[in-house]
Chains A and B, each alone.
Chain A
């Protein structure tokens, strides 16, 4: 692959991702409306698609206020971290054969590392805001991330055992015959739950919890700094959906009548829709329930899953 080709892939992935993240504003609002028997934004442009433009323009024209009591530089840095870390995670995702930014042999570990970095934006943003609600949100965010980070990593280890590789291209290739969702159903469910907690989306939006903490860690943010958190959240959804597809649903694999990239995007959009459906249907659990659920139920479950997978893999080998 020449250097020029590589640059084109990087730019293409960046372009598509940022557009998807922005477009999700419209997708989410339309889908939520549909599931609540409403119509949603349908005025600006065909089917209301220009709401994306209007929303972005609105965010740009809002006053970009830094509270005088805030820790200025950390306050500015926090929203950049969330977008940066999510964008970095996309580096290792193979969209189709040949379309991957970095073919790392430790791709999965890199993804876990980058998604853990995302918690810094919440903690730093909440701390720098110097606001009690923001700090409470940051505290919750940190404990939730630590709890769910643990078995997010553990839940994909079954996949790693079966495919014998951390490289995502190898993992997709190992699903040529049967998707890992069939052989690792428990791993998939737990990974998805952990993914929802990781992106702190509803029903696990404990750090934001607008009914309890106003807006939680980003209560003090306005203008495009808030927009960065917003975009970061949507890219997080896309990332978790893309990772779920890559690891459990065969990535770009699919019948040959559609190109591989299209298969990948179709599957990803299915999971994005599932994220939005979760938001539309489930209420937020209490903070202690969430943590308890994580440590007492999901962690033992994922360890048992790992044990059984290992045993079966050894049995099949011998």
Chain B
């Protein structure tokens, strides 16, 4: 009986405690930089698309919500012809970000993506591509890759040695 009265008193005291409620549209929750929300495609420092169309994100996706088609421009630089994410299926697991070898696909702290029609949740490439480098500023895949894709010549990249001249006998 006494413990019941004590319970009631303690519950009553909660009247003077701080409220846990966040009044959402007016007051917003603090989202951390690594919070996994809406998926974006980032660009490298020169404004080129980072995505090289390797399909690793689509392969890693557990719900198969990513669809893309890779293609090449005249310099041999690969990019996706289309890139489509169905956000009505996406579970925001972040596996695509982990799989991406070029830091192109990234999850950003934004969850406010409600739509009136389901079809509007299918984001095309122009919806996904943002004019930013995301979490990895300064990274440019084609500057560190061995390939000449119009960004730098072969052997001129960062930490890259000149190609071996196989016609010469000198060591």
Using a CB–CB cutoff of 8 Å, the interface residues on chain A facing chain B are: 34-39, 277-278, 280-282
Contacts and interface: CB of A to CB of B under 8 A. Distances in A.
Contact of B21 (A38, A278, A281): A38
B4 interface: yes
A277 B18 contact: no
Interface stretch (B9-17, B34-42, B69-77, B155-163): B9-17
**Top 7 A-B residue pairs of the complex, sorted by shortest distance between their CB atoms:** A281-B11, A39-B21, A281-B8, A37-B20, A281-B7, A35-B14, A35-B11
Nearest to B12: A277
A261 B21 CA distance: 37
A37 B14 contact: yes
B30 interface: no
* Chain B binding surface, main DSSP class: helix
Contacts of A38: 19-21
B15 A278 contact: no
Given A37-B20, A38-B20, A39-B21, A282 B8 contact: yes
Contacts of B17: 37
Interface residues of B, number: 14
Contacts of A35: 11-12, 14-15
Nearest to A38: B21
Contacts of B7: 281-282
A278 B12 CA distance: 10
A278 B18 CA distance: 21
B23 interface: yes
A34 B19 CA distance: 8
Contacts of B12: 35, 277, 281
B144 to A, nearest CB: 52
A205 B122 CA distance: 48
Given A34-B14, A277-B8, 19 more contacts: A34-B15, A35-B11, A35-B12, A35-B14, A35-B15, A36-B14, A37-B14, A37-B18, A37-B19, A38-B20, A39-B19, A39-B21, A277-B11, A278-B8, A281-B8, A281-B11, A281-B12, A282-B7, A282-B8
A315 B144 CA distance: 105
A20 B79 CA distance: 67
